Chain A
């Protein structure tokens, strides 16, 4: 359409580049945490995550084998071997034997050692130490190498927080607790809201528009107002702090959105279907269960996704209505906030914990994006 104006190519390029910039800017922060979650504490602390994607120059302190490994060849005592552990592939760019000058020698150089004898190190880490005298000492010769290390990532952080028994920073329990809160809190409001939405969409009765207006009003009431009165109510009726209270609270706070979304959708269903069913003698309950509910599936799915994301990501409701002083019912968001306080510098724990909690909503998001978008459009462009 804009191409009618004629200046196609320059404008198109500008659009492509700006869009790419925007996308990079928006995904970079998440990418940073994702990359960090696969690095060890040392790696995170010594270099930025953006370096992790490329081979890196690193200084390592390694040792040759000790005196026991020596052999006698042609009257000389020789220790041969490989500085790196099996499986490590690095390229040495410089090495040295003194901590004062760790880059003194090039690969292939041969230098005399302080205790007599010579040492040579190749670029791939193979070394050869020779001497006229017997090597002594319990430990091998120290070698400082400057090597190019290929990118390396591990699942170690995830293993630590998810599967290590007795890890105080473990997130496995919080994960189950979050799941326990989320699933009932997603399912319970749907049915309650669906019936109400049907009544508001397809039944004529005095006060209908007033109730719809009230639902719209309650849509924006901040849940902050509900904290103390409801906590007090829960304590008085004996629920106290716990899962039941959290489910009820989420059901209540999600209800206006549920009714609003479902009513808007149901009101758009074809009138003929419902009136034909009424003429054919179907009861309202049958119309609802057999016709409206199946037809409203997209709206139900939209709301379910919203409510799932909202309850999974919630912090405030969990802190107020669920987590008691024992901390047994802690959820992931609260767990991570605590880690931020106690483990603020341990990015390997923080990054992997955060990603465990982000992974599920992201999976839901990418697999059901269509419903999410549809729900959003129905919820706001009205």
Chain B
């Protein structure tokens, strides 16, 4: 595939390096020195120019390209690049943004700005922080089909009414499909006779109401306030991380030194306790018992400050520290001196985009349990293996490990059962075992 990458910063470079062997990659950057250097260091075509201009994009061959990736450090530039590319061809566009509001606008109306896939660096980093924090996920939630379909993962406790029931017996929730069951390190695709046991994590797909109704029924919050999360610094990443923890049922504490910023984030985060203080003030840390925290996340602006805060937290006796490191070269060094995990936002972004190029027909992907299964949204084409017959017939041809979770047809939600017929143009939300993912995507 012909791939055009606009912006050769750390993100663009990492993506180019990853794709150079399997695809024809053209990189556009405004800086002549970088272009020269790139020409020799990577097996790609590097062009000097402004990616927002049609002439430059045409020179890079946007008409025959299958993918345009806009990943400069400027949100507006990236969005304009995608919009400009769309005027010349129906190429798939990916934009990297920092601001979450842009992402929210885009999520509200997919395809907005001419962007087909948007990656929000700060949000992605925040999600990574949450994922690697190693705390049990009370609720992993994702939306599909423009908010029509919701996917969630719930832990089944022994008091839960569905514990010990088979999927068939538990199937009494309207417009809700049981997709998969995670048991310890094992993943079971939900069949009629699969039994849900206490301690399992079950993945359900359905309408937002049915999913939250199911959640109300079975969930006794796993995070009963025992897990103490402290985030230092209300930078955009710190803020998004706090929000991520909030959304999963935690009540994190966020320490911010700046008065106005503290107030601002406190207004936006109802379930976070925001403290206005210097995080290196040991008296304050002792009074608030920060030493008893299970995890401290350093999200200040500046790698050195994050190192200092993390080391201080370690010395106080905090179990686990995570630091945001902008400079890739520091990451390893920091981990050597005692920080548990260093997270680099640019690296995360590059990884996400690369991961996305793998399945270019999927519209949305959610990864579950460290990528042991994925939930993807696909628009059904004329040649899809799913269309034309009933679901029972169609899935018989597919490998094991696929569950059709929900169907969105013309803006309405259709609950899939064995006799449902899928039509071309439907958007289907599918739960797929990661092992058979490539095979399945190929078929549908």
A binds B: no
Give chain B's interface residues, CB within 8 Å of chain A: none
